A = this chain, B = another copy of it.
Amino acid sequence: MSGIVVASNRGPVSFDRDERGGLVAQRGAGGLVTALAGVLPGRDATWVAAAMTDGDREVAAGAAVPDAGFPAEMRYVVVPPDRYDAYYNEVANRTLWFAHHYLWDTVRSPVFDRATEQAWEDYVAVNRAFAEELAEIPGDPPFLVQDYHLSLVPRFLRELRPGARIAHFSHTPFAGSTYLRILPARIRDALLRGLLGADVLGFQTGTWAENFLFSARAMPGARVDLARSRVTLDGREVLVRVYPISVEAPHLRQLAQTPEVRKLRREIARIRGDRALLLRVDRLELTKNIVRGFLAYESFLRANPGWRGRVTFLALLSPSRSEIPEYQAYTDECLAEAERINREYGDHGWTPVHVSVREDYPEAVAALGLYDVLLVNPVFDGMNLVAMEGPLLNRRHGALVLSRNAGAFGRLGRYALGVNPFDVAETADAIREALEMPPPERTRRARGLARTVLANTPARWLGRQLDDLSRVKRPG
């Protein structure tokens, strides 16, 4: 196979003009980008992403590209801002993200109307533009299309390049078949058919893959083989596979050694003093279950007065999607809950919860080195990388309290303390158990977690997809 092509909404590199008018590359820091940065070199890779900046648009228009320090040729899809907004905010993040994570308050939301139809047309148009850009790439590379922003790309690309090898990977969960019916029928049908344009559909866990298969079963014309995890539609066979994503350990451990992170680690150690450190590191995201995390901590403090004053809960929250009203409201609720707990339980010498709301990845890396207990309790989560980064970075044999609804639970569950994220009593009990775990047990589990994460590399995640794609039977 010749090279590889990755397509994602946000690319690993974006270009800006500096003061002297030169194009300067900015590296992105998302999980996918970091994971692939280590495995693309030597692969003749091309990466197609939406243009985010004027610099990206200039590159798309043919400006000379300075070295971005990223091992892939960048190509940008240029979309008018209004169209991008509808595609990205309205459809991808407010509709598909909500569907796949079961986020709606169904009695009241969603309310689909004429605006939904218009936004959907924009989503279709952006997906088509991606497919057209991909179709222009010469040779016969495998196409690796990423995530719920680009659900229709496999089908559109298939129409333009019938013989192409196409994989799509869902980083999110995938909604159950009844819940997916909340979407307008036309949209749901287009999504399923869009994805089924691929040869291989990848999911983080068997549960999400199965949810997709259950929905496909109800599609007219589709034949689903549950036992072999295949769907046949329009005479083509689509493999449905599980490729749990992983984190790039060497990169992460390198980052943990930088002077900046060392300095931050000393600062956090000072805040903690001789108290135990309960930590969460999350985007300020509806799925992350931050409020119930605080409620569980409160329930723990209430039931275990002996722990008051002896533990600090540090919540490092990075702002996310603040242009969406639901996220603004949720941020306020999270902060109010933390303040209430500090008011009710704190005293002059002790603040039960420290909340930091800012974008500061080095601070997160520093804190992950120091926790005694890491709380990762999303309501639903495709995988959750913090649950993997923590055990790699932690220096105290810290324990992991992990939601059973995070994809990561499939791998890490046997070494973590599993919780139902809706059950604050169970979560409170797990916090206590994690804090009071005997040292040999802590060590055994912490080692198991780190070993499991290390055994699953991004290279393996990518390689398995490429292997499956290479075995796809080609027409003719």
Contact = CB atoms under 8 A, between A and B. Distances in A.
Contact of A291 (B108, B179, B404): B108
Contacts of A175: 178
Given A103-B106, A214-B214, A420 B113 contact: no
A423 interface: yes
Contact of A116 (B177, B179, B330, B423): B423
Contacts of A108: 105, 291, 333
A292 interface: yes
A140 to B, nearest CB: 38
A291 B110 CA distance: 12
A111 interface: yes
Interface stretch (A53-61, A180-188, A454-462): A180-188
B286 A107 contact: yes
B207 A116 contact: no
B113 A102 contact: no
B424 A111 contact: yes
A299 B210 CA distance: 38
Interface size class of chain A, counting residues whose CB lies under 8 Å from the partner chain: 35 or more
Given A107-B103, A113-B299, A181 B423 contact: no
A326 B428 CA distance: 26
B179 A112 contact: no
Nearest to A180: B176
A423 B107 contact: no
A345 interface: no
B176 A422 contact: no
A405 interface: yes
A111 B422 contact: yes
A102 B106 contact: yes
Nearest to A188: B420
Contacts of A117: 425
A184 B295 CA distance: 17
Interface string A402-423: 0011000000000000001011
A105 B291 CA distance: 13
A293 to B, nearest CB: 12
Nearest to A289: B107
Given A102-B179, A286-B107, A379-B107, A185 B292 contact: no
Given A102-B106, A106-B379, A117-B425, A178 B176 contact: yes
A174 B182 CA distance: 16
A236 to B, nearest CB: 24
Interface string A161-204: 00000000000010111110111110000000000000000000
Given A103-B106, A176-B176, A176-B179, 10 more contacts: A107-B286, A107-B326, A111-B295, A112-B424, A113-B425, A114-B425, A175-B178, A176-B178, A178-B179, A181-B420
Across chains A and B, which 7 residue pairs bring their CB atoms closest together, nearest first?
A105-B105, A176-B176, A112-B423, A176-B178, A113-B425, A107-B286, A114-B425
Interface of A: 102-108, 110-114, 116-117, 173, 175-179, 181-185, 207, 210-211, 214, 226, 286, 291-292, 295, 299, 326, 330, 333, 379-380, 404-405, 420, 422-426
21 contacts: A105-B108, A106-B379, A107-B379, A108-B291, A108-B333, A111-B295, A111-B422, A112-B420, A112-B426, A113-B424, A117-B425, A175-B178, A178-B207, A178-B211, A178-B380, A181-B404, A181-B420, A183-B420, A184-B420, A185-B420, A210-B214
